[in-house]
């Protein structure tokens, strides 16, 4: 009996060890220790290694010297973060630098932000007792007030005069069951300790349904971030100081999780979003996307492929005509139908009511002041009978010789289900009518100025607009409608038809590609003559491009699946010899 009892205890102990080990090593183990209610959660798989990677990277030095960083440092948000960081350092009595941050974790670490205004946080990292005693925190523990809890846990705390003395905070830290915990709130520290000890059940961040749903879809690589976007959208400080765009574009996002992976030849970021309302968006097929990618000229710095909806078609064509559609309010939409092929199952695309309501709605004040001239012309209607399925947008900039002048090459390539159904006369009339509306002399007609041009074995129809200083041309080649704002670009896109692309192997909702090397040269030639490096616009763009000479290509792919939206950002790194060449130019 005694042997059986001892054997039972040993088995139970082994099972308990296995269970605890599984909890500690599972993908999002720190989230099982942190309280619910976090607005932002960051987990790093190897914090010391990540800090070393940052410290030794060439990007760090280049970025810290860039105009972009200089502008960020001067903004209210940058000044606020720097001030709070210094206040925390002063309270701890040690500078919080990369070496200190790297020293507070053996490997994996996580931090959760509970208030973006006060910067209330909880930091947690697995750590054995010996390592804890050797940390910089414990070396200066005599500067902290300490107290011992009933279970023997020792807690250290120090007051912080935060926000230049306008609010009182504390920094508290302790070591509980193999974990270092640092918090800026006694309540948050107590909740964390209670969750780890088992006194609080179903109260961890990992128990949040929104978090667990997204966490089940990812395996953290280098780092992962989770955001409670619904809560952030309602946060005053986030909207006023942190957000770089209109909060309206984020209204349909309930939460999001982002996973960063750093490899030898590429950097990837996978983003999963849990939506309040699903987006009914038909995907661009791999066959259509491969065809469209074959139309991208060598060296094009930017291109995008998406589903051909009324809205996307109108915006793309208006962009070619330089009608400013991209700057117009995205909430102003047309009631045109969605263009699909004969296999359309009736699902709505970007024109769906739910997508419009949650993603593209304009503010009431903006909508009330819009006039008829603010509306993007319905250029897509003239080719609706041809069944557009997907649309490729191309763009590049260049500086003209002679007088200082910047021009932009833009082109659109549309995949058609029935190219023979295009009414050329109607399409030409819609383009010339849209251009004529912007002439100084109203009522001037351009319809009769269309001519056929031929060069290098390809032909297209062209409309010269002398009053506007440029022309527009189009052609139908195979199942593609090609429209561009100049004969050179039309011809160049037409001559790419012999290429075959194998890049796209899956269906997607949207694909965007940026080639920073070409973009860098493109912006340098275009904007280098317009302003010096301290100019807010050109200085920032060029500074970011110069800061990352290792990036050869950036690709962003978007997918939809019910109330889940997935994006993948993939940065392909350039060979070392090309990086060195760029860095020394």
On whether the pTM is more than 0.85, the answer is no
Residue 124 near residue 109, CB atoms below 8 Å: yes
Q: Distance (Å, rounded) from C-alpha 455 to C-alpha 489? A: 12
| Size (the chain), residues | 585
What residues does each domain of the chain span?
A: 29-206, 286-514
| Beta strands 154-162; 145-148: pairing state | antiparallel
DSSP bridge partners of 397: 408
206: closest CA among 272, 257, 261, 275? Answer: 257
**Torsion angle, CA of 420/422/428/434, rounded to 10 degrees?**
-160
Alpha carbons within 13 A on the beta-carbon side of 124: 27
pLDDT truncated to tens, each residue of the chain (585 aa)?
A: 444 444 444 444 444 344 344 444 578 999 999 999 999 999 999 888 888 888 887 777 777 777 667 777 777 667 777 777 777 777 777 777 777 777 788 889 999 999 888 888 999 999 888 888 888 788 877 778 888 877 778 899 888 877 766 677 888 999 999 999 999 989 999 999 999 988 889 999 999 999 999 999 988 888 999 999 999 988 887 877 766 566 777 889 999 999 988 887 888 899 999 999 988 778 899 889 989 988 998 878 889 999 998 888 988 998 888 765 443 433 333 233 333 333 343 333 433 444 333 333 444 444 333 334 445 568 888 898 999 999 999 988 765 555 545 567 899 999 999 999 999 889 988 888 887 776 655 556 777 788 899 988 899 999 876 655 668 899 999 999 999 988 888 999 999 865 556 565 678 889 998 887 666 555 555 545 444 444 444 445 555 555 666 778 888 999 988 899 999 988 888 765 444 444 444
């Amino acid at each position: 009996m005694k042997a059986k009892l001892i054997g039972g205890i040993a088995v139970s102990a082994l099972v308990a060890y296995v269970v605890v080990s599984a909890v500690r090593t599972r993908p999002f183990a720190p989230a099982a220790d942190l309280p619910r209610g976090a607005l932002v959660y960051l987990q790093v798989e190897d914090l010391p290694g990540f800090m070393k990677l940052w410290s030794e990277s060439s990007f760090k030095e280049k970025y810290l010297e860039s105009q972009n960083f200089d502008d960020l440092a001067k903004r209210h948000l940058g000044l606020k973060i720097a001030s709070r960081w210094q206040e925390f350092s002063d309270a701890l009595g040690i500078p919080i630098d990369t070496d200190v941050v790297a020293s507070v974790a053996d490997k994996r670490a996580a931090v959760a932000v509970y208030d973006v205004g006060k910067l209330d946080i909880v930091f947690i990292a697995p750590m054995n007792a010996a390592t804890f005693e050797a940390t910089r925190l414990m070396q200066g523990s005599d500067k902290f007030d300490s107290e011992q809890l009933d279970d023997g846990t020792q807690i250290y705390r120090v007051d912080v005069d935060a926000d230049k003395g306008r609010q009182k905070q504390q920094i508290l830290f302790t070591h509980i069951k193999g974990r270092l915990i640092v918090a800026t709130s006694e309540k948050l520290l107590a909740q964390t300790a209670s969750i780890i000890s088992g006194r609080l059940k179903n109260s961890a961040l990992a128990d949040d349904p929104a978090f667990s749903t997204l966490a089940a879809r990812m395996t953290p690589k280098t780092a992962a971030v989770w955001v409670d976007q619904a809560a952030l959208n309602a946060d005053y400080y986030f909207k006023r100081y942190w957000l770089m765009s209109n909060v309206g574009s984020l209204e349909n996002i309930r939460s999001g999780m982002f996973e960063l992976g750093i490899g030898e030849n590429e950097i990837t970021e996978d983003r999963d979003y849990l939506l309040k309302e699903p987006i009914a968006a038909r995907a661009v097929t791999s066959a259509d996307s491969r065809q469209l990618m074959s139309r991208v000229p060598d060296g094009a710095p930017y291109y995008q492929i998406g589903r051909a909806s009324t809205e996307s078609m109108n915006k793309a064509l208006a962009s070619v005509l330089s009608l400013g559609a991209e700057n117009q309010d995205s909430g102003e939409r047309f009631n045109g139908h969605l263009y699909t092929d004969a296999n359309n199952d009736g699902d709505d695309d970007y024109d769906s009511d739910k997508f419009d309501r949650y993603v593209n709605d304009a503010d009431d004040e903006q909508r009330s002041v819009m006039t008829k001239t603010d509306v993007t012309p319905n250029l897509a209607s003239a080719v609706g009978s041809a069944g557009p399925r997907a649309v490729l947008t191309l763009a590049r900039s260049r500086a003209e010789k002679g007088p200082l002048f910047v021009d932009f090459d833009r082109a659109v390539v549309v995949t058609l289900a029935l190219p023979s159904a295009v009414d050329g006369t109607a399409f030409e009339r819609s383009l010339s009518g849209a251009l004529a509306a912007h002439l100084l002399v109203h009522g001037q007609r351009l319809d009769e100025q269309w001519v056929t041009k031929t060069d290098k074995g390809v032909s297209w129809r062209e409309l010269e607009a002398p009053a506007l200083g440029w022309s527009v041309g189009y052609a139908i080649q195979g199942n593609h409608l090609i429209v561009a704002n100049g004969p050179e670009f039309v011809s160049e896109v037409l001559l790419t038809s012999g290429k075959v692309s194998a890049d796209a192997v899956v269906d997607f909702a949207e694909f965007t590609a940026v080639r920073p090397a070409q973009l860098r040269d493109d912006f340098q030639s275009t904007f280098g003559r317009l302003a010096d490096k301290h100019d807010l616009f050109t200085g920032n763009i060029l500074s970011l491009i110069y800061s990352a000479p290792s990036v050869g290509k950036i690709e962003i792919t978007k997918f939809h699946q019910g109330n889940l939206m997935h994006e993948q950002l993939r940065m392909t790194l350039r060979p070392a010899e090309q990086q060195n060449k760029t860095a020394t130019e």
